[in-house]
Structures are given as structure tokens and as C-alpha cells.
Amino acid sequence: MLINKPAGVTSHDVVQQVRRRVGVRAAGHTGTLDPFATGLLVVLIGRATRLARFVEAKSKTYLATARLGIRTTTDDLTGVVVDTAAVMPDEPTVRETLTGFLGAQLQQPPQYSAKRVAGERSYRKARRGEPVELADVRVTVHWIELVDYAPPDLTFRTAVSAGTYIRAMARDLGDRLGVGAHLTSLHREAIGSLLVDDAVPLEQVTPSAVLPAIRVLRDMPGVDLDDAGRRDVIHGRAVVDGRAVGQRGSGVDVALLADGELIGVARSDGEWLRPSVVLETLEPG
């Protein structure tokens, strides 16, 4: 399901509502949105929960607003103010600084994050006032643009790799501008080619909003299997890659289809498609 998450609820709350309204037990989201954030949340249902890692790996597109001149403990509007500045940079400086975020880089996750430190979520340690040291992670900003600048508020749109914290970007933006900043709003517009424009509001979640599993993998190359290939995949056996040997390349994920439906995902080694996820089971007889 593609859901347009409203502000004020957690991603876990959304999943719980989906379970109740659709009547399923197995359901999970693919990428947390903070309670104040809005926008696209992908919820996988039933055996499709096995596809989570493929959705989570996709790039994300966000519309974000940062408030310059105020640093907070959480790097967003939910935290305690720790520092302020009155002088604002001009727009050309803001545009140039935003451009500096393009490309691969190391990012320090917020202390108030779900990252684990010695087996415990870092935000729990931070709430107790304990020092938290999180290792930098490598992220990629594919593109970024200034949408509006009305000091002290700055709105930007960006597409980033999985694992990128937009509130950390807001924090770092403020630091680079020398005035501090924190995130005040966040709206996820896309996950790969999945768009919030195609999502349903949470209050309109019904069984009719459930989409075919192939929808979340439509960017992935696909292979149509005959009956024999379908049986092999259901039993976890590799099937011959229909493309010329070596043409696809090794290490490529491929969606396995039968009669237009997704039955699994395989990893190509250039000659064989070896199932890594199987959604369908073989009916008795």
C-alpha cells in the first residue's frame, strides 16, 4: 500500500491501522517517517514484507523546510533550543551552500536517532543525557535545489540515498552557513519511482487500496517464467537467465513473473537466476 502519512502519528501507528483496516497480521513499513513528518509511506503486506530490503534501498525525494538561526538537541522542531543567531545569510550564499551538499559524503546521524550504540537505541541514551558518539555514514545527495528562502525559513527539495537523515542535512546546512539550523517540516514525495501523488490518505485505507506486489519493484528488470520455471523458483531452484550469457552482468536483482504476477526475486550471476526471495507457494497436487 502507498499511504500519504499525516503529521502527528508514528510510522508504527500507520502500520497498526493498516493491520486493523485490511484485516492482516503481517505488515510493515519500509522507511520510518518521524511523527511530525508527512508523505509517502510504503506498507508491505503478507508475503510481500519479504521485499522490504529492495524498497528500502531506493533513493528518496523530500521537500524540507529548515529554520536558520536556531540549533536544537534533536536537529528538528521537537528538540530543545541550544543556540541562536540573529544575522541571516543572503540568498546567493544559501544557494551556493546547498550546492555543496551534492554527491557522496560522510554524514553524522543525529544523536536522537534509531541507530544502535552498544545494543541500545541512541535516542534513549540521549534522552538520559548520556553522551552519544555515532560513526559517520556514507550517503549520497543525488540532487538538491532551493525552493524558497524567506529568512529565517529555507525550503529545499532533494533526492538522497537510503539512510540519509534530512534533519542532519538541515543541521549541517546551518553549521556551514555559520548560523545553525533545525528542520521544521518534512514531506516525502517519492521512493524511487513510487510517488506520494499515487498514495491514499490514511483515513481512506481499505482493502481496495492494496496494490499488486510487483508495483514496488517496477524499476527492477523482470523475467517472465514458463510453468516449469515457475515450479523451479517456488522450490528455490535456479533457472537459466534468458538473456545472453554475461549480457545482464553479475549481481543484478531480477523480478520473477508468472502470468503477470510477481512470484519472487532472483540474483543473476550472468548465466543463472538464483532465487533470493520467493513469494508464492506450490499448491498441493
Q: List pLDDT tens digits, range 123-150.
A: 665 566 666 677 889 999 999 999 999 9
The C-alpha cell 517456488 sits at 234
> What average pLDDT is seen over the chain?
91
The question of whether 269 is a catalytic residue gets the answer: no
Q: Where are the beta strands (DSSP E) in 132-235?
A: 137-150, 153-160, 181-191, 194-195, 200-201, 222-224
pTM assigned to the model: 0.91
pLDDT tier at 111, thresholds 50, 70, 90 = confident
**Measured distance CA(45)–CA(37) in Å, rounded:** 23
Q: What is the torsional sign of CA 169, 28, 6, 123?
A: negative
Reported as half-sphere exposure (CB side, CA atoms, 13 A), residue 233 has a value of 31
Given the residues 34, 75, 172, 241, select the one marked as catalytic: 34
Find out whether 112 and 79 touch, Cβ atoms under 8 Å: yes
pLDDT tier at 271, thresholds 50, 70, 90 = confident
Residue range 38-89, pLDDT digits in tens: 999 999 999 999 999 999 999 999 999 999 999 999 999 999 999 999 999 9
**Measured distance CA(109)–CA(163) in Å, rounded:** 9
User: What percent of the chain shows pLDDT beyond 90?
Assistant: 80
